[in-house]
Structure 1
Amino acid sequence: PEASIKKLISQNIGNCFSISKTFRDAESVSPSHNLEFTLLEWYEIGKDYKHIAQTTQKLFLYLHHQLQKKTNQPKTNFLNYQKQKIDLTPPWPQFNLSDLFQKYAHIDLSQNLTFKQIKKTAQQKGYNTTGIDTWEPLYDQILLNEIEPHLLKNRPVFIFNYPTRLSPFCQLCPQQPGFSQRFELYMAGMELANAYSELNDPVQLEKNFKTEQQFRQQHHLPNHPYDKQLIKSTANFPKCAGIAIGIERLAMLFTNTTNIEDVLYFPTSKLLKQP
């Protein structure tokens, strides 16, 4: 629903939210991913991604306290998940993605924003780069193996400022060239949310869409016409920020389960297992 919501925002709808189904098959089915899942999205006018982070903290703590009240538990800021107490007390820890790459992978991420350079770095670190001809899979390997295992498990964690090549709809970071105003939220090692300050420059947005189309064409990936109406509406787009939160993953945390099947009536994994 992202594109539709943004068109409404350009017509001065104001702060808004959506709870709707999303389908994503770029990732395979796993204990934390179902092909079809539910997203909560909201947008705040006149705010940036750092303000969205504050709202997110308040929402999660409110939900936690309401669940404690409904189940007759004492009110605390601690969420019990898989024998781990997660402290939800604000402010939550915040880290710059580049700092994490430097600290745990000993990589200057700002110098590894091209495929040629990150491939060289990955090979030096012993990663198998055979058959990989794009930047993102190599970045993902390093993130998964060398960054995510070090994230705090007893606190929610915000990771700020992602490479612009991963964030085509985001405002740029003025003080960090090559990076955008985006954060992801992790809890118990699981990604729960993705948020950013919205790009409101129609010229830059169309340029980003065309770059993405060229990339897909070069690598024989499915390609789709970009939404010209969305680009046109961006000219009237106010300063704002938005976030998307995976409802099923949030439910997993609050119900203390490690498998997304447990919070779905009809998980994709069971359908795939049918003879």
Structure 2
Amino acid sequence: MRPASAWWAPDLHADRRPRLILRNRIAARLRAHFDGLGFVEVEAAALQVSPGNETHLSAFATEAIGPDGARRPLYLHTSPEFACKKLLAAGEPRLFCLARVFRNRERGALHHPEFTMLEWYRAGEPYEILMADCADLLRLAAETAGTDRFTYRDRACDPHAPFERLTLAEGFARHAGIDLLATVAEDGATDRPALAAAVAGAGLRVAADDTWADLFSRVLVARIEPHLGQGRPTILCEYPVSEAALARPSPRDPRVAERFELYACGVELANAFGELTDAGEQRRRFEAEMAERLRIYGEAYPIDEDFLDALAAMPDASGIALGFDRLVMLACGAARIDDVIWTPVAGGAR
């Protein structure tokens, strides 16, 4: 007897198929859109010497076996970012990639261990232009789906509406009563005791072993994110530099970075940077992230030295990663990410 949740069963596939066909149509429209803007589509190899160096991103590890039997570790990438930035260094001025990416320790309504990431990069252009790109892509997805409303669970959002733009400092003040930047120094150093006192004052739990980053994430998830992308999309921007490992500091305020995230229906859709091109600073950040990962998870990933070499040659650029499956979910009102993936990985709860 087949499992009740087998996606390949003809009756279940018949129910899923309209959403999957819509997925294909949206992908085709995205490709045509970028082609019309002079972008080139690239393919990033999934096997990399490093899967990425962010503390809480977990990878799938494998190994390459040479003809002589020699073995070397490799990883399935968590993002095509490193490969795309190498292509920027090679001279590509505008590129995009619809990449299959892999993240371990992630499974749920909005998470799948293998999913599709849409990334695009603009050399020599400010990161604010990516906000306009996002508006275009949301409208395009809605038009393709024949809808004027994105939905997820009990939340709705008009993809055609002007975006709300909210800084992290404004979000913390408005929704949690916390002066976030009072806990960040001019050099980006963070004040854990000050934030802990503010978080406790806001009525949220504080544990003795919480770091500043833990407390920041707790407030963001509990008090800020539920308000984002309600009725209209939200751009959440100007993250503290400690929460933007691959982004350059803002010329306006060194405490914050050129990073924004896009939300619709309370769902995070995209993560954008004004790209950091200082290879020495990037190495320092990677090492700090991997030290923290080793402390928490007991493992760390290697640093891609080839990437750091390319970073030193990379032009100023802006780049963004958008969860393609989530965009399709919102456009067709699906309840789970598995509902818009042609062949979901086994083992997900329905």
Q: TM-score, normalised by structure 1?
A: 0.87
Tell me, yes or no, if the aligned pair for 2:176 and 2:202 is still in contact at 8 Å: no
**How big is each residue's C-alpha offset from its partner over 1:175-221, in whole Å with a ceiling of 9 and x where there is no partner?**
22321001000001100000111111122112212222333344454
CA distance in 1, matches of 2:335, 2:209: 31
Tell me the CA shift for residue 131 of structure 1. 5.9
> Which one-letter code corresponds to 1:207 in the other structure?
R
Q: Percent identity among equivalent residues?
A: 30
2:347 is matched with 271
**2:206 maps to 1:135:** no
Stretches of structure 1 that go unaligned for 5 or more consecutive residues are 69-75
1:232 is matched with 309
CA RMSD of aligned residues (A): 2.3
2:266 is matched with 189
Tell me the CA shift for residue 90 of structure 1. 5.4
**2:145 maps to 1:67:** yes
Tell me, yes or no, if the aligned pair for 1:49 and 1:195 is still in contact at 8 Å: yes
CA distance in 2, matches of 1:30, 1:3: 26
Which of 51, 64, 86 is the equivalent residue of 2:129? Answer: 51
Stretch of structure 1 that moved more, 185-194 or 104-113: 104-113
> Which one-letter code corresponds to 1:20 in the other structure?
A
CA distance in 1, matches of 2:308, 2:170: 33
What is the SS of the residue equivalent to 1:19? strand
Which of 41, 49, 69 is the equivalent residue of 2:119? Answer: 41
**How big is each residue's C-alpha offset from its partner over 1:37-63, in whole Å with a ceiling of 9 and x where there is no partner?**
110001011112210111111122123
Q: TM-score, normalised by structure 2?
A: 0.69
- Classify 1:256/1:273 alpha carbon distance in 2 versus 1 (closer, same or farther; 3 Å): closer
Tell me, yes or no, if the aligned pair for 1:193 and 1:243 is still in contact at 8 Å: yes
**2:172 maps to 1:101:** yes
What is the SS of the residue equivalent to 2:138? helix
Stretches of structure 2 that go unaligned for 5 or more consecutive residues are 1-79, 184-189
Tell me the CA shift for residue 107 of structure 1. 0.6
1:29 is matched with 107
User: Which is bigger in relative contact order (C-alpha 8 A, separation at least 6)?
Assistant: 1
- Classify 1:185/1:273 alpha carbon distance in 2 versus 1 (closer, same or farther; 3 Å): closer
**How big is each residue's C-alpha offset from its partner over 1:55-101, in whole Å with a ceiling of 9 and x where there is no partner?**
11112212322332xxxxxxx7x225267663233531211111110
1:17 is matched with 96
> Which one-letter code corresponds to 1:45 in the other structure?
A
What is the SS of the residue equivalent to 1:138? helix
Which of 289, 314, 323 is the equivalent residue of 1:246? Answer: 323
Tell me the CA shift for residue 102 of structure 1. 0.8
- Classify 1:272/1:255 alpha carbon distance in 2 versus 1 (closer, same or farther; 3 Å): closer
CA distance in 2, matches of 1:133, 1:126: 15
What is the SS of the residue equivalent to 2:116? strand
CA distance in 1, matches of 2:162, 2:349: 43
Alignment of 1:117-156 (within 5 A): 117-130=194-207, 132-156=209-233
Stretch of structure 1 that moved more, 109-118 or 244-253: 109-118
What is the SS of the residue equivalent to 1:210? helix
